[in-house]
Amino acid sequence: MDIQKIIDELVTKVTGNSDLLKKLTADPAAMIKQLIGIDVDADQVKQIIEGVTKALGGNVGDVIKEGSGILDKIKGFFGKN
């Protein structure tokens, strides 16, 4: 599985779409499946979300400002704080 390709595709799909970004933040595995069409395991989700977060950088904007940063959510999703 090409993680970087998945990251690139997700970045393209969520850039400028705060609704999709919020859904990705809320339930990363489900949104990856919905947007990309593949199932990923917990380690892959973590890698993908870290890559998307890095790629979007400041573009994540309001989602992070609202305290629902993607990495914080993913850590909580896997019970790792």
Q: Domain residues of the chain, as ranges? A: 3-77
- Closest C-alpha among 41, 40, 50 to residue 72: 50
Integer CA distances (angstroms), 21 to 1, 5, 18, 76, in order: 23, 18, 5, 17
Q: Is 68 helix (H, G, I), strand (E, B) or coil?
A: coil
Q: What does the pLDDT look like over 10-69, one tens digit per residue?
A: 989 888 888 888 888 888 888 899 999 999 888 898 898 888 888 887 555 444 444 345
Using only the alpha carbons of the chain, give its radius of gyration: 11
pTM of the model: 0.68
| H-type alpha helices, 1-81 | 3-14, 18-26, 28-36, 42-56, 62-65, 70-77
Q: Which amino acid is at 14?
A: V
- Closest C-alpha among 75, 73, 40 to residue 10: 40
